[in-house]
Amino acid sequence: MSIFSRPMNLFLAFAMPLLALQAAEPDPGAETAFLQRVLERRPRLGLGGADDFTIKDLCIDPDGARHVRFQQRYRGLRVWGGEAILHLDAGGAESPMTDALVRGIQVEVTPNLDQAEALAITDASEAPRGSYARAPAVELLVYPAAQLQRRADAGDGRNARDFAPRVTRFHLAYHIRLELQNGAPETRHDDYLVDAHTGAILKKWSTLFTVKGQGVPASTTGRSQYSGEVELGSLSAKCGYVMADPTRATISTRDLAGGTSGKGVLYVSQEGQWGDGANYDPSRGSKSPNGQTAAVDAHYGLQTTWDFYRNVLGRDGIDGKGRAAYNRVHYGSGYDNAFWDDDCFCMTYGDGETFKSVTALDVVGHEVSHGLCHATADLDYEGESGGLNEANSDIFGTMVYLYGNAAHGQGPRLPAEGARWTVGDDLETPAFPTPLRYMYKPSLDGFSPDAWSPDLDYLDVHLSSGPMNRAFYFLSQGASARKKDDSHSEYLPKGMRGIGNDKALRIWWRTLSTYLTPRSRYQDARQGAIRAAADLFGKDSPEVQAVRLAFHGINVDGHNAIIYSKGEDGRCPASSATGQHGR
């Protein structure tokens, strides 16, 4: 997933229990009991004997509450988007299940095409100019094709609540993932669903998640391009100082030196100083002090995001289990993007051509947070779920930037205000002198929508993320009642007050980690955020009301809902944030 996507191929504190989720160690006995509990209720869930489950994840709150993610299977095959989350308190009592199960499946599970034939179809569609980065991944599964349809009880408007996906047909399909990493001319990660009976390509989408040795721990100094002089976690070894941090699961930064494959070579310094603070000049070489600068920014960004997850979210790394990740810098030549790769558990950064080196702090936080999403809700990277995936990375990238600057990378809380509500400001050049995205008013980029509509399913995920970005801004900083202000919403004519960055972040994080599933839509995000806010602050709290208002502000709520709070001005009274952003 990259941070960038635009037409013409341009991309680009509060004292409270954290309730952070941590992945639990496997307990075969408990898992068997959880599986049995769900299997026994199949008739009540509208499922039959051919439906089965596997446990995908088990997370435990600090108070002992458990959240068990189940993957639905049909006659042994994974059901695309079919998931459920069982929520139990410390005593074993259940709260309502998060239900994204698929009912009424009827499909023949014997394919007419074998894997080789399906791969030949996708290879012909892909028409690669170079070789694949790794062998294609192929899985046979059940795919419920669905269309967004107006609900029978819909209101008069076009609110998200008025529409729901309806399965139109079940397909036996091959899910095929192809990865091309051949530099700026050809860097694509494309997923396909191919009908295993007819060979028809049912769907194709990009999954390039973009924005657009032995030794002892050591602290070294880097001169970054975007964050000034920074302290870097490194490793002191016989060969010198290595840009690998053993205090953070040995996260590391490596030099591809213009290549497009492999892990690259670890950066090593004899003096323990890196970089010159200037944008990369390829004529000076990737191993020169100038070439080290991109590595300094990427390494600092990864360690800052790692600390943010640990100190603010209470999470042990990207996957919650402390798995090390690494950066690859100087990818290809003139590559104007950065991306996360699930398979290598790594981030890759280009040197830019239209943009500066694509290693700014919010960009790094954005890319790393694609990995965080994959490890939790695993939101599919297309349609509304893809927009939520991109928005999640924009939200976390913005909060990581705030943490690294206004909060100086310290403490368990974020300042209530002071975030920079644009994405990619630091990458601006005379050729591209604007931010990539405006969270407070997405349409300022000329392409992104400010509110939900049925058209979101057909937009690039970097555009369909706009309404969720704006809802988070409203939740944190509020919406203005003044029509000329950029933070004004026609759906909130009286405006609203925000609850501050820290509270908004905690609500969103719990929504992502506890209540969303791969095919979640905006309406699911609203319902999950209301539950998350109630978990954290109480069901009748101002924070719950603020969540309702924030989603109302992007056209996602109940039928013709009137949800203004009891404040005399009709606005949520939880914070002094005003959300002006006039221009």
Show which residues are catalytic: 367, 462
Instruction: Please state, in angstroms and as integers, the Cα–Cα distance from residue 150 to each residue in 155, 228, 534, 559, following that order.
Output: 10, 52, 29, 13
Q: How many other C-beta atoms lie within 10 A of the C-beta of residue 257?
A: 14
Nearest CA to 188 out of 133, 116, 137, 139 is that of: 133
User: How are strands ordered across the β-sheet holding 229-237?
Assistant: 268-269, 240-242, 229-237, 216-223, 273-274
Instruction: Please state, in angstroms and as integers, the Cα–Cα distance from residue 92 to each residue in 34, 66, 88, following that order.
Output: 11, 8, 5
HEC states along 277-312? CCCCCHHHCCCCHHHHHHHHHHHHHHHHHHHHHHHH
Residue 330 DSSP class: E
Nearest CA to 479 out of 469, 489, 466, 491 is that of: 489
Amino acid symbol at 143: Y
Q: What's the CA gap between 270 and 244, in Å, rounded?
A: 14
Spatial contact of 325 and 368, defined as CB atoms under 8 Å apart: yes
How large is the greatest C-alpha to C-alpha distance in the chain, in angstroms? 72
**Residue 174, CB half-sphere, CA atoms under 13 Å: how many?**
26
CA quadruple 539, 94, 92, 77: dihedral sign:
negative
- Contacting residues for 546 by C-beta, under 8 A, at least 6 apart: 475, 496, 497, 498, 499, 533, 572, 574
Q: What's the CA gap between 431 and 338, in Å, rounded?
A: 19
Q: Is 504 helix (H, G, I), strand (E, B) or coil?
A: helix
Nearest CA to 326 out of 262, 280, 258, 231 is that of: 262
Sequence length of the chain is 583
* Token pair 């929508």: residue: 449
Spatial contact of 435 and 420, defined as CB atoms under 8 Å apart: no
Q: What's the CA gap between 186 and 456, in Å, rounded?
A: 27
In 420-571, DSSP assigns E strands to 422-423, 437-438
The tokens for 505 are: 């972040």
